[in-house]
Amino acid sequence: MPFEEKYYREELDYLRQLGKLLAQEKPHLAHFLAEKEGDPDVERLLEAFAFMSGSLRQKLEDEFPEFTHGLIRMLWANYLRPVPAMTVIAYEPRTDQLKTPVQVCRNELISSDETRTTRLSQKPLSDGDDKPEPLPACHFTLARDIWLQPLRIDNVRNASSLKEGIIDISFVADDRVSPDILDLNKITFWLGNEDDYTRHQLYLWFCECLMDAELIAGDHHLPLPDLWLDAAGFDNQDALLPWPKNVHSGYRVLQEYFCYPEAFFFFHLRDVAPLPADFPVNAFTLRLHFNRPLPADIKLRQDSLRLHCTPAVNLFSHYAEPVRPDGRVAEYPLRASHRHPDAYDIFQVSAVTSIVKAPSDAAFPGSQVRHWPNSKASITRWNTVSSESCLLAPPHENLPVSSRAGAQNGFCSC
């Protein structure tokens, strides 16, 4: 088996990257590890080690071909991507100022304060003191639409009898709110109780045991025979993560449930009849009827059902640092930020812009780019390669290129 030079080049480039990291941590060794005007003995040692490790790696890859990574990338690409942080955002609208329902759309960006915390600078100072450095802001993107209404939950009570189950949900609104403003079909409940047993029992009763409902306000009784509760998280518009179009959505549900089950404890009110003009909405109760009593040991509190909540994910669009190929290596690492390399993790590369003598063109995954009219027609393809190492953590993306690449636009997590 003839030796392929690419293994030697890749191993040597990897050792030089480690040398740069070691020079930053131990400056007294920097003159030994410098690429230019470095110690020739150290350079020959690195070249010899790169040749040995490259030969060993070629032998291993020849005997144990790894095709599963490429197969999974083609069929289930999301399983190879890092899982970003997920949370639930709770809004607290002021009922005295909110007069009409307001929609907060999905993909809305929520950012934290840049000075929320500090870390010690990795570069040692001359006087030996460490300089505190603020971390970049943390960005979360709303995964679903949410409606804010001048309404809040005052109490949640289990009023079950021996024959049927009953849950009374008491609502309170401002005195100036009229019935024609409120739309109960825009209400979304989140089972936010920290008692997992109570939450799972409510989920079961909401999905399987609900018969009908009614609105009660003093002497007013409004039957709601068509009301039902729609469990969120299963439709494509409820997705937390960007999902490839060629992959079945059932795999998305599995991944999101095991990564963040909180996102599936949401229920939407459906088919609620409009409120009459004389219905008092400053204080009313939504009574849910079930075909069997609720367990006696569940603990319902005011926070068992929460309004104005929606899941959010730590994903946002971000321009990566530009890559300037010099022809010395075949792959170049993508960095979201040179200043804060540990604060970002690349989730997906959505487009690559190539800057050549011809006008700038954009390439997309698996697409073809034609440079015209100032140059001959040419075709460019690009792909990213995930690379993981115990010494260069976390896993990063490599971009194989054959022309000058500009800014890469993609999704990041920090």
Check residues 334 and 370 and name the one with the higher pLDDT: 334
Residues 6+ apart with CB under 8 A from 90: 192, 306, 308, 309
Would you state the pLDDT for residue 6?
A: 85
pLDDT band, very low/low/confident/very high, at 408 (cuts 50, 70, 90): very low
219 alpha carbon, distance to own chain's centre: 48
DSSP 121-183: -SSPPTTSPPPEEEPPPPEEEE-S-EEE-SEEEEEEEE---SSSEEEEEEEEE-TT--TTT--
Low-confidence winner among 163-167, 174-178, 343-347 (lowest mean pLDDT):
174-178
Helix (H, G, I), strand (E, B) or coil at 38: coil
Between CA 360 and CA 368, with CA 362 as vertex, the angle to 5 degrees is 115
Neighbours of 145 (CB within 10 A): 16
- Could you report the per-residue pLDDT of 174-202, keeping only the tens digit for each? 877 888 888 899 999 999 888 899 999 99
Q: List the chain domain ranges.
A: 1-65, 146-313, 315-414
> What is the pLDDT at residue 336?
85
Render pLDDT for 209-261 as a digit per residue (tens, 0 to 9): 999 999 998 888 999 999 999 999 999 999 999 888 888 888 899 999 999 99
- The whole-angstrom separation of Cα 28 and Cα 22 is 10
Round to whole Å and give the CA distance between 4 and 370: 32
41-90 pLDDT, tens per residue?
A: 888 888 899 889 988 888 887 766 566 777 777 788 888 888 999 999 99
Measured CA to CA, the distance from residue 370 to residue 225 in angstroms comes to: 60
What residues contact 272, with CB distance under 8 A and at least 6 apart?
184, 185, 224, 227
The answer, yes or no, to whether residue 130 has pLDDT greater than 50, is yes
pTM reported for the whole predicted model: 0.71
User: What mean pLDDT do residues 308-317 have?
Assistant: 93
Determine the Cα–Cα distance for residues 398 and 383; give it in Å rounded to an integer.
9
Mean pLDDT of 93-107: 85
